[in-house]
Amino acid sequence: MDNRPIGIFDSGVGGLTVFSELIKALPNEDMIYLGDTKQFPYGNKSKDTIIELTKKNTEFLINKGVKAVVIACGTATSQALDSVYELYDVPVIGIIEPTVLSLNKEKPKTIGIMATTGTIRSKTWQLEIKKLMPDAEIISQACPLLAQMAEEGWTENDVARLTIKEYVKAFKSKPVEKLILGCTHYPLFKKLIEEELGTNTEIIDTGKKVGSYLETYLKETKRETVKKTKPVYEFYLTDMESQFLKVANNILQEEIQIKKAKIRI
Phi-psi region of 153 (alpha: psi -120 to 50; beta: other; left: phi over 0): left
Q: Map the footprint of ligand DGL across residues 136-165, applying CB under 6 A.
A: 147
- Closest among 111, 128, 106 to 119, alpha carbons compared: 128
Among 6, 10, 16, 92, binds ligand DGL (CB under 6 A): 10
Which listed residue (18, 72, 73, 150) is catalytic?
A: 73
Phi, psi of 240 (to 5 degrees): -85, -15
Which listed residue (31, 95, 150, 183) is catalytic?
A: 183
- Closest among 66, 162, 79, 156 to 115, alpha carbons compared: 79
User: Which one of the spans 41-49, 55-63, 96-104, 155-163 is the region binding ligand DGL (CB under 6 A)?
Assistant: 41-49
Reply yes or no on whether 73 is catalytic: yes
Judged by beta carbon, residue 4 or residue 47, the one nearer ligand DGL is: 47
Q: Strand 6-10 relative to strand 68-71: parallel, antiparallel, unpaired?
A: parallel
User: Which one of the spans 9-17, 153-161, 171-179, 233-241 is the region binding ligand DGL (CB under 6 A)?
Assistant: 9-17
Sign of CA dihedral 142, 40, 193, 127: positive
- 183 lies in the binding site for ligand DGL (CB under 6 A): yes
Among 5, 7, 35, 43, binds ligand DGL (CB under 6 A): 43
Q: Strand 68-71 relative to strand 31-35: parallel, antiparallel, unpaired?
A: unpaired
- 41 lies in the binding site for ligand DGL (CB under 6 A): yes
Q: CB neighbours of 66 closer than 8 A, spacing ≥ 6?
A: 4, 5, 6, 7, 32, 90
User: Which one of the spans 71-79, 81-89, 196-204, 251-259 is the region binding ligand DGL (CB under 6 A)?
Assistant: 71-79
Give the integer Cα–Cα distance in Å for 227 and 225: 6
- 238 lies in the binding site for ligand DGL (CB under 6 A): no
- 124 lies in the binding site for ligand DGL (CB under 6 A): no
Tell me the sheet residues that pair with 32: 7, 234
Among 14, 35, 98, 112, binds ligand DGL (CB under 6 A): 14
Among 9, 19, 33, 40, binds ligand DGL (CB under 6 A): 40
Using DSSP, state whether 166 is helix, strand or coil.
helix
User: Which one of the spans 62-70, 133-141, 164-172, 182-190 is the region binding ligand DGL (CB under 6 A)?
Assistant: 182-190
Give the residue numbers annotated as catalytic, written as ranges: 73, 183
Q: Which residues bind ligand DGL (CB under 6 A)?
A: 10-11, 14, 40-43, 73-75, 116, 119, 147, 183-185
